[in-house]
Chain A
Amino acid sequence: MTRITPELIFEKGYDGMKNNFVPKMDVEEVDLNAILPPEFQREDIDLPNIPEFTIVRHFVNLSEKNHSLDRSIYPLGSCTMKYNPRINEVTARLPGFAQIHPLQEENDGAMELIYNLGEQLREICGMDAFTMNPAAGAHGELTGILIFKKYFESKGLKKDKIIVPDSAHGTNPASSVMAGYSIIELKSNEFGEIPLDQLEFAMQGGDVAGLMLTNPNTVGIFDRNITKITEIVHKYGGLCYYDGANLNPIMGVSRPGEMGFDIIHLNLHKTFATPHGGGGPGAGPVGVKEELIPYLPCPQIVKGTQGLACIEQSDTSLGRVRSFWGNFGVLVKAYTYIKALGAEGIKRAANMSVVNANYLRSQLQDIYDIPYNANGRFNMHEFVMDCHLPNGVNAEDVAKSLLDRDLYAPTIYFPLVLHEPMMVEPTETESQRDLDKLITALREIYELAKINPEQLKFAPHKTPVGRLDNTYAARKPVLKK
């Protein structure tokens, strides 16, 4: 049989045409060879010239093959796919933000925005200072763990291990290793919570720099022992790192700083409504308590006696983690969002993310196995189902079958503390009607598993392509054409 190959943009060009995107050459042109030795010059570029309209059609057609949040619910657990308000796109594109150069001196508005956003996040998180440098959550984690490293180095203490729970996102251990730490993995208990005795045992080793934790945790449960946990870590001289992936349900309700966390990173593209853009750009600000401020990366914007000032370098700082200031355009969007919501709006958003998650759970738990919620406990923003459906239908089958119903699938196969996990996070911006569509679909899929499992196992059927072969892709990688 013949393969049906997608038509790539490179096949749509004409050698003899060009577009109108180059300004007039209005200086007298010299022979290029006179200013650049010929051996430094390339021959041809293997890229076509493509008419503008053809390009527009190509990308509009591609976009039609892509599911997105603006089409229907996108309930990816731990990803907080909430509505991205359009006003944020407008403010980020204001000439006074989009057109300014990172090294220009007349930048009072930008400095003020960065500083004020830091102040807002301080208030929300209960921390003492923020850096806006990190470009993403994982970048924030690396920055945070390097702060650990700098802190202990400056104290002359050798601590080379970090504790993470087994349900932690893979970035936690990966970031720790990038800062030279090795990992102690703690097995979480039946509620997904940290077992205090094991934590204390691990800390007693004396070589542990600290703990990385999300709270609420990956299974959507708020750890009731949180202050005991941070006390134990502090008792042995360790630091507590808060992975802000799951901040959404508690913003305006409770502060990580007051739980005893020393460092926090946030994902502005999750909690603060900046678009995910198919995988970035995000922003991963890092907040710290007073004692850790000296170790923050540079540049840092601080309030001095004469207004805002910038610390370009300092002996105690861990250094730079990227060029310039951070993903400024993303910061503008998050700042706009926080200003729009205000104190009440932030709390209401958090509240409704919790109501939505628990409502979804309440309408599914009679048929789906939802562990970690024994004894009438409630979830925060998300919950995890173990998808063992009748006739061997698994989490992947359920996910693909949701795609056929024009809904995006929740996160699957994470956290791997279960065999067939499906992690559902609806966020606050879905109405009951939209949640009911997901509920109806999931219940229908469950019933179908009993009578027609084959249909589910070969799903999806209505997407632009059927179920794709990951093994084939990895065995003979074709990464370009």
Chain B
Amino acid sequence: MDYVPHDDTEVSKMLAAIGVNSIDELYQDIPKNLLIDRLNLDAGLSEPDLLKEITELSQKNTVYSSSFLGAGSYYHYIPSLVDFVISRSQFYSAYTPYQAEASQGFLQAIFEYQSAISRLTELDVTNASMYDGASALAEAATLTTFHTRKNKVILIEGIHPEYIDTVKTYCWGRSIEVEIIPLDQLEHKITPDIAGVCFQSPNFFGEIENAEEIVNLVKNVNSKTLVVQCMTDPTCLGVLTPPGKTGVDVFVAEGQSFGLPTSFGGPSLGIFAVRKKYMRKMPGRLIGLTKEINGEREGFVLTLQAREQHIRREKALSNICSNQSLCMLATLVYLVSMGKTGLKEIANQNFQKTHYLKQKIAQIPGYKVLGEKSTYNEFVVKCPNFAKLASSCKKHGILPPLELTKYFPERENEALICVTEQNTKAQLDEFLTLAKEAAL
């Protein structure tokens, strides 16, 4: 099954039109010793055989009926219309909208996404998306150095460990110094030669940091130093003070929670929004409103392209070109489907249901909730026997929480529990029962 439409007669006619006798002649520039006879791969499959084989492969993964795992990838409800919209041929089989006049649909959708994220974050400019939250944070960290012409970035502990690793990689590439410090040392560590300070809130452990306080601490030392806030689950913005209000300069987030399945961690999108003064240093595509050259109709185009690699080449501040457009479209459809009321209700439910479980589990002998700060939909619990809890969860079709040893080897029996609006009270109570049993 090769999806090639021609039959042999048509191929012969085309070869004759080209003026050759065989396909091989067309490959005459390839040195003979580089030609291969046949790939050592299986023969192709018919669609029914293919579907059967791949379905069987998919079934080697366990699909759970409920989950207490988050840590950067979340099970939120996805309205049915989201997948319907992104499955339309006109969107999913289009390329980057180079020919604006024939791409107004996608261009307008990106413009609406930029607007929706700017409304949600109260920041001036949002790009058309990055690959994911981690790479978005990495590009934000490097952006701070372009703007300030300083070469050192501070990361506050509590950023997702995989994001920290990604930032380190990007900064190593450009020889930017990175220092990772706990929040309570920021006051002592912040100096005027810092390009940017990056923090996550709600942080990896679900705790909500005081963004305004961080901004003030930093700006008091050097008003030009940029503050970057990162989020792994931006559904909290339904309730939380937006970064535009707290003084943050750059906001990045993993967008998966807005209408995309977990899909083993990808594809999703990186949300990237900045204050206007950083607009020309920001990576990624931007869509702008314009008008016809010879008419009065308005329309949308790719704009500020002089920032980008195809024009600026080695002078470009980022190499990104394709983003995650279709995922961005899913996010737009999600946000407008929820509307402001839905977004508030979702965020509130995440707070409330998490609070319910947090209170109840704290009452079980042997369990201790760690940390004092307010939490969104994740929190850390010291467990008497994590392994037992995890295995009994799995037996009941429940995806257990993350044990922090995954990223912090010394933190044994500490569970990062995630609760979303999708967890019913019955599921929460069942988990509590299993927790109680696991303590025995």
Nearest B residue to A12 by beta-carbon distance? B336
Question: Could you say which residues of chain B place their CB within 8 Å of the CB of A328?
Answer: 263-267
CA distance A466 to B298 in the complex (A): 9
Q: Is the CB of A110 within 8 A of B89?
A: no
Q: Is the CB of A327 within 8 A of B266?
A: yes
Please, what's the 1-or-0 string for B27-61, where 1 marks a CB less than 8 Å from any CB in chain A? 11111001110111111110100110111011111
A138: contacting residue among B88, B286, B322, B324, CB under 8 A: B322
B112 to chain A, nearest CB (A): 5
CA distance A348 to B267 in the complex (A): 30
Answer whether A76 and B98 are a contact pair too, CB < 8 Å, given A29-B352, A42-B242, A103-B402. yes
CA distance A411 to B99 in the complex (A): 9
Question: Could you say which residues of chain B place their CB within 8 Å of the CB of A378?
Answer: 18, 20, 25-29
A118 to chain B, nearest CB (A): 13
CA distance A457 to B275 in the complex (A): 39
Q: Is the CB of B55 within 8 A of A94?
A: yes
CA distance A346 to B297 in the complex (A): 46
Question: Could you say which residues of chain A place their CB within 8 Å of the CB of B385?
Answer: none
Question: Could you say which residues of chain B place their CB within 8 Å of the CB of A48?
Answer: 336, 339-340
Of residues B160, B335, B336, B353, which shows the largest number of chain A Cβ atoms within 10 Å of its Cβ? B336
Q: Give residues 129-183 of B contacting A (CB, 8 Å).
A: 129, 131-135, 160, 162-163, 165-166, 168-170, 172-175
Asked whether any CB of chain B lies closer than 8 Å to the CB of A22, the reply is yes
Please, what's the 1-or-0 string for B289-303, where 1 marks a CB less than 8 Å from any CB in chain A? 111111111111101
Question: Could you say which residues of chain A place their CB within 8 Å of the CB of B4?
Answer: 348-349, 352, 428-429
Nearest B residue to A108 by beta-carbon distance? B60
Answer whether A432 and B109 are a contact pair too, CB < 8 Å, given A318-B169, A468-B101. no
B54: contacting residue among A52, A336, A345, CB under 8 A: A336
Q: Is the CB of A30 within 8 A of B34?
A: no
Segment of A234-242, A250-258, A385-393, A442-450 in the binding face: A250-258
A101: contacting residue among B54, B67, B115, B267, CB under 8 A: B67
A-B interface, 10 closest residue pairs, ranked by CB to CB distance from nearest: A324-B265, A96-B58, A277-B326, A342-B44, A102-B265, A66-B105, A109-B60, A281-B267, A49-B339, A345-B2
29 contacts between A and B (CB under 8 A): A5-B298, A21-B77, A22-B342, A41-B241, A42-B237, A65-B108, A67-B99, A91-B58, A103-B402, A107-B62, A135-B132, A142-B173, A170-B310, A174-B312, A255-B34, A275-B93, A277-B326, A278-B95, A279-B97, A280-B325, A348-B4, A352-B4, A354-B26, A355-B14, A458-B294, A468-B100, A469-B292, A470-B303, A477-B279
Q: Is the CB of B104 within 8 A of A349?
A: no
CA distance A460 to B299 in the complex (A): 14
Question: Could you say which residues of chain B place their CB within 8 Å of the CB of A179?
Answer: 173-174
Q: Is the CB of B333 within 8 A of A109?
A: no
Question: Could you say which residues of chain A place their CB within 8 Å of the CB of B426?
Answer: 26
Q: Is the CB of B322 within 8 A of A479?
A: no
Answer whether A55 and B18 are a contact pair too, CB < 8 Å, given A66-B103, A344-B44, A477-B288. no
Question: Could you say which residues of chain B place their CB within 8 Å of the CB of A91?
Answer: 50-51, 54-55, 58
Nearest A residue to B310 by beta-carbon distance? A170
B59 to chain A, nearest CB (A): 5
CA distance A97 to B309 in the complex (A): 34
CA distance A140 to B18 in the complex (A): 36
Q: Is the CB of A45 within 8 A of B344?
A: yes
Segment of B78-86, B187-195, B364-372 in the binding face: B78-86
Asked whether any CB of chain A lies closer than 8 Å to the CB of B414, the reply is no
Asked whether any CB of chain B lies closer than 8 Å to the CB of A35, the reply is yes
Given contacts A23-B77, A428-B3, A477-B288, 10 further A-B contacts (CB under 8 A): A6-B104, A6-B108, A8-B111, A59-B109, A74-B93, A171-B321, A253-B27, A329-B267, A479-B287, A479-B288
B339: contacting residue among A47, A180, A430, CB under 8 A: A47
Please, what's the 1-or-0 string for A1-29, where 1 marks a CB less than 8 Å from any CB in chain B? 11111101110010000110111011111
Q: Is the CB of B342 within 8 A of A6?
A: no
Q: Is the CB of A341 within 8 A of B112?
A: no
Nearest B residue to A351 by beta-carbon distance? B23
Asked whether any CB of chain B lies closer than 8 Å to the CB of A474, the reply is yes
Asked whether any CB of chain A lies closer than 8 Å to the CB of B399, the reply is yes
Please, what's the 1-or-0 string for A133-174, where 1 marks a CB less than 8 Å from any CB in chain B? 001111101100110010000000000000000000111011
Of residues A70, A94, A277, which shows the largest number of chain B Cβ atoms within 10 Å of its Cβ? A277
Q: Is the CB of A45 within 8 A of B340?
A: yes
CA distance A65 to B88 in the complex (A): 12
Answer whether A6 and B298 are a contact pair too, CB < 8 Å, given A170-B308, A340-B1, A474-B306. yes
Asked whether any CB of chain B lies closer than 8 Å to the CB of A209, the reply is no
Q: Is the CB of B18 within 8 A of A358?
A: yes
Q: Is the CB of A352 within 8 A of B6?
A: yes
B356 to chain A, nearest CB (A): 4
Answer whether A277 and B91 are a contact pair too, CB < 8 Å, given A90-B51, A146-B169. yes
Question: Could you say which residues of chain A place their CB within 8 Å of the CB of B73?
Answer: 101-103, 324
A85: contacting residue among B3, B60, B166, CB under 8 A: B3
The count of A-to-B residue pairs whose CB atoms sit within 8 angstroms is 704
Q: Is the CB of B89 within 8 A of A70?
A: yes
A429 to chain B, nearest CB (A): 5
Asked whether any CB of chain B lies closer than 8 Å to the CB of A330, the reply is yes
Q: Is the CB of A323 within 8 A of B163?
A: yes
Answer whether A180 and B30 are a contact pair too, CB < 8 Å, given A4-B297, A341-B2. no
B106: contacting residue among A45, A97, A173, A278, CB under 8 A: A278
Asked whether any CB of chain B lies closer than 8 Å to the CB of A196, the reply is no
Q: Is the CB of A322 within 8 A of B425?
A: no
Nearest A residue to B84 by beta-carbon distance? A56
Asked whether any CB of chain B lies closer than 8 Å to the CB of A246, the reply is no
Q: Is the CB of A469 within 8 A of B290?
A: yes
Of residues A67, A283, A356, A358, which shows the largest number of chain B Cβ atoms within 10 Å of its Cβ? A67
Asked whether any CB of chain A lies closer than 8 Å to the CB of B304, the reply is yes
Asked whether any CB of chain A lies closer than 8 Å to the CB of B247, the reply is no
Q: Is the CB of B336 within 8 A of A41?
A: no
Question: Could you say which residues of chain B place their CB within 8 Å of the CB of A146?
Answer: 169, 172-173
Asked whether any CB of chain B lies closer than 8 Å to the CB of A478, the reply is yes
Q: Is the CB of A135 within 8 A of B267?
A: yes
CA distance A81 to B99 in the complex (A): 15
Segment of A197-205, A221-229, A285-293 in the binding face: A221-229
Q: Is the CB of A109 within 8 A of B115?
A: no
Question: Could you say which residues of chain B place their CB within 8 Å of the CB of A221?
Answer: 29
Question: Could you say which residues of chain B place their CB within 8 Å of the CB of A281?
Answer: 131, 266-267, 269, 324-327
A278: contacting residue among B40, B97, B342, B425, CB under 8 A: B97
A115 to chain B, nearest CB (A): 11
A420 to chain B, nearest CB (A): 16
A97: contacting residue among B58, B166, B336, CB under 8 A: B58
B39: contacting residue among A36, A52, A83, A346, CB under 8 A: A346
Asked whether any CB of chain B lies closer than 8 Å to the CB of A113, the reply is yes
Please, what's the 1-or-0 string for B198-223, where 1 marks a CB less than 8 Å from any CB in chain A? 00000000001010000000000000
CA distance A359 to B356 in the complex (A): 68
Asked whether any CB of chain A lies closer than 8 Å to the CB of B362, the reply is no
Asked whether any CB of chain A lies closer than 8 Å to the CB of B128, the reply is yes
Q: Is the CB of B263 within 8 A of A174?
A: no
Question: Could you say which residues of chain B place their CB within 8 Å of the CB of A226?
Answer: 31, 34
Q: Is the CB of A479 within 8 A of B352?
A: no
